[in-house]
Structure 1
Amino acid sequence: MPGQVGLTIDGALARVSLCHPGKFNAMSRAMWLELRAIFLALQAREDLRCVIVAGDAGHFCAGGDISEYPAFRFEEAALRDFHETDVWGGLGAMLACDLPVVAQIEGNCLGAGLEIASCCDIRVAGEGARFGAPIARLGFPMAPREAQLVAREAGAATAREVLLEAAVLGAQEMKARGFLHAVLPDAGVAADALVRAQRIVALAPRAARLNKQTLRALSTGVSIESVVDRAYHYADHAEHREGVEAFVARRRPAF
């Protein structure tokens, strides 16, 4: 069965599923294109408030589909197109999405999986999850944009360790290094991710989108002045008024 990226919607919550049976959900070229299309569509949905990204059958994503690599990796222009168009197209769409994204990480989270997890805002993992990018064993480096992403989210020291030593790290170690927000028994990961997503869904959706826009801008190194210049346009928005007025009236806000 070929791999696919699935999307299901339940009210204001979207679930994106990575599925590639028999390959621990390794990303094929087609799956990267599907990931991009799905996140572009999610970005355009005003009715959604949160996204959970998870893998099927007890694994997040074990990397790229290596069986496809001989068809394009040995020619520079084709290799560049794969990373800059296919892979970064998917990752870039995730990063540009204003909806909060929760990663539900189980089992293998390697290579492409580590990159996809790095695009998520909240990351929870099972005790048995494994993290790394052991591509040095395959004879190639991580593409520059992808390496920058992983180094930013997992830390430069961790990026060096997984890339130069092909180290594979456990969930508790990744939490200690600040990459994960929580580590749970494997059987409890899905429930925890759902609780966190539902908590986000209950909060002010416009505020969440604005927070993501601010954090994204700051992560790119733009001047704080440029962020401040457009930071207060929400002043007269109904959601802002509702939140403050509900607090003063001692009632639950209706967002």
Structure 2
Amino acid sequence: MEAREFVASLVAGGMAGMCVDLTLFPLDTMKTRLQSQQGFSKAGGFRGIYAGVPSAAIGSFPNAALFFVTYECTKSALGPLVSTKTAPLLHMFAASLGEMVACLIRVPTEVVKQRSQACPTLGTRKVFVDTIRQEGIPGLYRGFGSTVKREIPFAMVQFPLWEFLKVLWSWKQNSAVDSWQSAVCGAFAGGFSAAVTTPLDVAKTRIMLAKKGTRTASGKVLPTLKNIWNTQGISGLFSGIIPRVTWISLGGFLFLGTYDKVHKLLL
């Protein structure tokens, strides 16, 4: 990858991340509270819907920038070795690798953000300080495994679908897609991916919000999913699906549309 392409991916990815995270933050708060074990009302209801926004603001740019740099570098490096038929496999691999790298920043951001969302009276700074004091640095990475296990399946569905829809639209109109068309493809891809991976998102949220020392706090996804199934059934596994799908559909439109537009402008 050329230096210009690298910088374009870095800046476009970071700007796209900040755009979607800050614009749609209230929907993310509602989703977190719906998924919390204590329930929507006790977690804050509609009060303080911007609780935790400083954490999101700090982490969104480097998180998204790291993802897209990794994604584009992987595509650039392996692209010549891949045929048109196997291109979706490359997109799956590149997106999965990008998610794993991005989670190094995303997980600490998510831990502080979600705990602030579930306890809006504490404030972001106090949540961060309490987490460090009580659990140390490992506390900021609580749920790293469950986040990666959620993000990889999500990325393996979203990005090949996004790339496929762009190719299909381009073929239909016999010209390259515009940024707004890329955004529409991103909305469809994001919404579908969000729906099918909601149970993994619920498990990730429960693990991050669990009290230290509890079984859920150990970070094991399958036992957490089993416990949710046993206590709340299918509705528990898909709690928060409406705000999640709405948030990620709108987020996919803004995120991938902004990335495509800024990336083209910088190049």
TM-score by length of 1: 0.24
The structure with the greater share of residues assigned to strand is 1
Q: Which has the higher contact order (CA 8 A, sep 6+)?
A: 2
TM-score (norm. length: structure 2): 0.23
